[in-house]
Structure 1
Amino acid sequence: MTDARQRSTMTTGLRAELRIDAAAECPVAAFSERAGAEFRDVTWTGDGGTVVEEFRGDASDADPPDVDRVFEYRNESVYQIERTGDGRCPCEVIEGLNVPTGDVRAADGSLYVTVHLPSADRVREVIERLHDRGFDASVQGLCRTVGAADESAATFVDRDTLTERQAEVVETAYEMGYFEYPRATNAERVAAELDIHPSTLAEHLATAQAKLLDQIVG
């Protein structure tokens, strides 16, 4: 298994941060939930079916028996967890799609994984594969990478500016092809899927798009 923090060499494409609820399958995510702490710089290496995960943060003075504190510096520690490399960890699922990953962190039982992809279709493919494997996964932020010569044109879109309902409306409309040209569906069908009135759909979409455009244009 390769290091999880391999760097992408693409000069154009998309950088997306994925949120994956993974406490049931990922010991680092589970530890973040138990400890009430955020852990950063999550990496992993494997040999012979055994995987060693390493990460840093500040949990507390008391560590559970399955977590080794291997180094301490000021208010932070470096931890290691050993697990079986059975391919069920969400990061291994992403690696199985040959997707380059960047930073990986864990907080409140969720993993936040940065991936580098050439198109939105590949982002959707990764999300769908994670859903197929039973993970609740979503895109938290999206940034188009345009190369070192024009880094000022890169834009980061923060999904958390949307309410849960607004995000659901946008995702449903997107998945049903409402934003395609020509459109694969219409507002009435999207509204019916969400069990809301078309005027309510229009209001949610307008508000959500305004929030996202404020980030892009502003």
Structure 2
Amino acid sequence: MSDGIRATVSFADPGTCPIANASRSTEGPIEQVSTSVALPDSDGSVSEFMADSDLDDVPRVEPVFSYGEATLYRVSHDGSADCPCETLGEFDCPVHRYVAEDGTLTLVFHAPEFETLQGIMDTFREEYPPVDVQRLLQPPLEGSPEDRVFVNRGRLTNRQREVLRVAFEMGYFRRPKGANATEIADALGIAQSTFTEHLVAAQRKLLTDILD
């Protein structure tokens, strides 16, 4: 059996996702989410989550019972895919973790192979733009789970990526240097200060992914 790919994807506008909608009314994120099999005499499945807030006015969200100040809520799914969580069900991909906060949704899920992941991401981008791919992991990998990070090149502007590429190709990062900042700026046709500005901005974005 393939180890598959573990993806972390965030949605600023996750459609009609009831859990994301409920998170607009809670003081903190909704993180304790579980999905069960279909209830008796039901054609769909249910998701359940804990929240400290009153969510009686949120569509499709029903209270089940209370634990002191917290309440267990239930969302029923009828089999139609109108939010990212249900879309994953169409691809038979299990969800490892849900996090909903202020209307945004982050999903950690497992895809069996890259082709399935491509199909999922194509659907996500078509149905729920914008989509932010935060991490992709494909085991087996060396190091601890904390060492396995996905560097998102999409965070770089075209100019920042060009500056990094030319600097790398001209040996700016070698020791001793193959070229200095002035030489690389001349090759790019920009001022040295502009080269430095783009380089620092690009490095900051990449290091944020690596060190976060």
Tell me if TM exceeds 0.5. yes
| Residue 151, structure 1, aligned to residue 139, structure 2 | no
CA 1:168/1:65 → structure 2, altered by over 3 Å: closer, same or farther? same
| Residue 130, structure 1, aligned to residue 130, structure 2 | no
Q: Residue 49 of structure 2 aligns to a residue in which SS?
A: strand
Correspondent of 2:98 among 96, 100, 104: 104
Matches within 5 A, 1:48-67: 48-60=42-54, 63-64=56-57, 66=59, 67=61
What are structure 1's unaligned runs of at least 5 residues?
A: 1-8, 179-196
Deviation digits for residues 160-205 of structure 1 (CA, Å, limit 9, x no counterpart): xx9xxx72637xx7xxxx9xxxxxxxxxxxxxxxxxx996799657
CA 1:88/1:150 → structure 2, altered by over 3 Å: closer, same or farther? same
Aligned residues: 179
Q: Distance in 1 between matches of 2:196 and 2:115?
A: 25
Deviation digits for residues 94-114 of structure 1 (CA, Å, limit 9, x no counterpart): 232333321112111122110
| Residue 25, structure 1, aligned to residue 16, structure 2 | yes
CA contact (8 A) 2:38 2:44 kept: yes
| Residue 169, structure 1, aligned to residue 157, structure 2 | yes
Quote the RMSD (CA, aligned, Å): 4.2
Matches within 5 A, 1:171-190: none
The residue type equivalent to 1:156 in the other structure is V
What are structure 2's unaligned runs of at least 5 residues?
A: 166-187
The residue type equivalent to 2:64 in the other structure is V
Q: Residue 25 of structure 2 aligns to a residue in which SS?
A: helix
**C-alpha displacement of 1:20:** 1.8
Give TM-score, length-normalised by structure 1. Answer: 0.59
Partner of 2:181: none
Partner of 1:181: none
